[in-house]
Structure 1
Amino acid sequence: MTDTSNPSIRFNDGAAYERMMGVWSRLAGETFLDWIAPKQDLAWIDVGCGNGAFTELIVQRCAPRAVNGVDPSDGQLDYARKRPGTQIATYHQGDAMALPFGDKAFDAAVMALVIFFVPEPPRGVAEMARVVKPGGLVSAYAWDMDGGGFPLQPVMRELRAMGFVPQPPPHPDASRTENLIALWQGAGLSDIATRRIDVTRRFESFEDFWAASTSGSTVKPAVAAMAPDILAELQHRVRAHLKEQSGGAVSYDAFANAIQGRVPG
């Protein structure tokens, strides 16, 4: 998902996003889909589908009748359309706050790792509710940005400690469980339920972690501009947050908050 109101946060490189966040998205997305336990043969809309990482999970695990992905980024959508696992999906360039579909067009709507990038989260949730049929599912999961659950937290934390200010998403607080509940209630949704999703990602080496975690637009500009000695210090500080595994591998734990509700009727 690209925040069109904040040009400094743009995810236009689908391949870089895949390395940075696609794996994390699938790890959390698998648990998320097990939790919401959707029926088969549904028509889905994946809002802020990005490069199609979660869209692919819907196709693989949910036997959907149809899937439509919406995202503002041409680069992300181009990558999504080339995914062999999403051939039944149709992708559209569009805005989460003004979805290009009529009322009651889908059985299920989802935002995967998107809500904190939407310039006006209440409008985004209201739009999902608008395009879903009565009784249909409206759901989301998002890294707990305020609570330290973001996968890039080790890098972001140490950048701030060293005086750098990486650009945060416009609404990091939207990922808090109490705020998600308020958003779903504000959109008139019922049968609201929440849960926390914990995931661990293993990297073959610290270098693998570093390359993946600094490949996106969130921190790449700051890291690329660093002098070698400053960069070495940052890497040393970040490494202290990771768990050492056998054979030089490292791992990191992240967590997301998930929510689901139903359109009344």
Structure 2
Amino acid sequence: MGSFGGVSAEQYARFMGRFSTPLAVGFANVGLDGVGADARVLDVGCGPGMLTLELVKRRGPAAVSAADPEPAFVDATGQLCPGVDVRLAEAEHLPFADGEFGAALAQLVVHFMSDPVRGVTQMGRVTALGGRVSACVWDHAGDGGPLSTFWRVARRLDDDVRGEAGLSGAAPGQLVDIFRRAGLADVAQTVVECTVSFRDFADWWDPFLLGVGPAGRYIATLDGKEISRLEAALREELGEEAFTSTARAWTAVGTRA
């Protein structure tokens, strides 16, 4: 899996947690649909524990396991969710037994896997026969992700901006293709949305300066004048008053055959 090395759990939570925390509610609905009440569940690529906490609320800590390749995220999830079995591991090499879980979920992770098909294959391996495997990725390619405004304005100012549209699973049908190549059955695509409120422009903008993810790394390549220019253009786009932002994620679900 890709690395968030150098980014603290707190920084990640301030930047993406404001989107991934509400997303976890809808995604858990999808990932746990039809899964037996007594089944254990796994959060793959748990980050600092946004989805893990939602799963704990529904299943209790003893029924939830989690894995992430970043030690800081493993520690943060362990502190946030006492009693959960949290492992330091990549999705491509999950340290769990075959068929151990009734459901395996990966929220906003597949596009950072070094080998998405292998990662999802591993999710299927640790899921019981007939169990449910789910993953979601922001709609970066369709301009429906939480950072779409940022990338759209950045591209307007800089022709070399790549953004996140090319990441695996960011366009419709891509997650479904990955799931089918990973050998899962009954694969289907759904959409999960969430809405986030911001007090003002600064509430939205300031976490971009923390260096988190592709957006943070892009800003880190700019000099002070370029950052000010980008900020001014975004202010013009979004205004200074309170606003809400609705983001959607493509979701694929499948079963282990």
Q: Structure 2-normalised TM-score?
A: 0.88
Is the contact made by 1:242 and 1:252 (CA closer than 8 Å) also made in structure 2? no
Q: CA deviation at 1:165?
A: 5.3
Does 2:51 match 1:54? yes
Does 2:108 match 1:113? yes
What's 1:92 paired with? 87
Q: Distance in 1 between matches of 2:159 and 2:216?
A: 12
The verdict on how the C-alpha distance between 1:69 and 1:213 changes in structure 2, with shifts beyond 3 A counting, is: same
Which range is displaced more, 9-18 or 53-62? Answer: 9-18
Letter in 1 for 2:151: M
Q: What secondary structure sits across from 1:138 in the alignment?
A: strand
The alignment covers a number of residue pairs equal to: 254
What's 1:158 paired with? 153
Q: Distance in 1 between matches of 2:50 and 2:92?
A: 21
What's 1:142 paired with? 137
Q: What secondary structure sits across from 1:195 in the alignment?
A: strand
The verdict on how the C-alpha distance between 1:71 and 1:123 changes in structure 2, with shifts beyond 3 A counting, is: same
What's 2:226 paired with? 230
Does 2:195 match 1:200? yes
Q: What secondary structure sits across from 2:92 in the alignment?
A: coil
What's 2:204 paired with? 209
Letter in 2 for 1:71: D
Q: Distance in 2 between matches of 1:165 and 1:52?
A: 34
Q: CA deviation at 1:259?
A: 1.6
What's 2:249 paired with? 256
| Residues 47-86 of structure 1: CA deviation (Å, up to 9, x unaligned) | 1111111100100124465211111101111221221xx1
Q: CA deviation at 1:243?
A: 7.2
Q: Distance in 1 between matches of 2:99 and 2:186?
A: 18
Q: Distance in 1 between matches of 2:181 and 2:224?
A: 49
Q: CA deviation at 1:125?
A: 0.8
Letter in 2 for 1:161: R
User: Structure 2 residue aligned with 1:76, among 66, 73, 86?
Assistant: 73
| Residues 118-172 of structure 1: CA deviation (Å, up to 9, x unaligned) | 1111101111011111011111111012112321222233333322756756961
The verdict on how the C-alpha distance between 1:221 and 1:181 changes in structure 2, with shifts beyond 3 A counting, is: closer
What's 1:174 paired with? 169
Is the contact made by 1:40 and 1:62 (CA closer than 8 Å) also made in structure 2? yes
Q: Distance in 2 between matches of 1:164 and 1:94?
A: 37
Percent identical pairs in the alignment equals: 29
Q: CA deviation at 1:18?
A: 0.5
User: Over the residues paired in the alignment, what is the CA RMSD in angstroms?
Assistant: 2.4
Q: Structure 1-normalised TM-score?
A: 0.85
Deviation >6 Å, runs of 4+: none
Is the contact made by 2:89 and 2:95 (CA closer than 8 Å) also made in structure 1? yes
The verdict on how the C-alpha distance between 1:66 and 1:145 changes in structure 2, with shifts beyond 3 A counting, is: same
Is the contact made by 1:116 and 1:171 (CA closer than 8 Å) also made in structure 2? no
The verdict on how the C-alpha distance between 1:225 and 1:134 changes in structure 2, with shifts beyond 3 A counting, is: closer
Is the contact made by 2:62 and 2:84 (CA closer than 8 Å) also made in structure 1? no
Q: CA deviation at 1:12?
A: 3.5
Structure 2's unaligned 5+ residue stretches are none
Q: CA deviation at 1:13?
A: 1.0
Is the contact made by 2:36 and 2:102 (CA closer than 8 Å) also made in structure 1? no
The verdict on how the C-alpha distance between 1:65 and 1:193 changes in structure 2, with shifts beyond 3 A counting, is: farther
Structure 1's unaligned 5+ residue stretches are none
